[in-house]
Structure 1
Amino acid sequence: MSQYSKLNRLLTQAFGIFFGIALAVWILRGLGVGILAAIPGGIIWLLLGLAIVFAILAYVQKTWWRF
């Protein structure tokens, strides 16, 4: 496995983790479940933003970067 595919796998996994957490928190917050109801919306936007950044980095690394 090359260095590029390892990095791309890590970036893709990071995207999935942040997106999954953001989605779960958003749904559970909407249902009013426990302490998640008190989480500010900015935290959810931050998690979604991080997921988007990792998705862009994974795409760019796969197609353009050769470092």
Structure 2
Amino acid sequence: MSRRPNLAVTTFLYVAGSLLVVLAIVLLLQAFGILNFPQEAIWALVLLAIGAGILSAVSRNS
């Protein structure tokens, strides 16, 4: 019998995945010249996605 995934972990993974998708879309739109985001905003999205992934991994291992 398999264990059900923890709701908090599942929610965190969805948030991290959503952040990565948004980041990819923003980078593509910026590459095509459609949007012009400040570089700091893009770094903030990158760090937020990395932090969410790290916290998810830590909570999964504990």
Structure 1-normalised TM-score? 0.80
What's 2:14 paired with? Answer: 13
Letter in 2 for 1:59: A
If each structure's helix is expressed as a fraction of its own residues, which one has the higher value? 1
Following TM superposition, the consecutive aligned residue runs of length 4 or more in structure 1 with deviations greater than 2 angstroms are: none
The count of corresponding residues between Structure 1 and Structure 2 is 60
Superposition map of 1:11-50 within 5 A? 11-33=12-34, 36=35, 38-50=36-48
Separation in 2 of the partners of 1:44 and 1:22?
A: 7
What's 1:52 paired with? Answer: 50
CA RMSD of aligned residues (A): 1.6
Identity among equivalent pairs (%): 25
Structure 2-normalised TM-score? 0.85
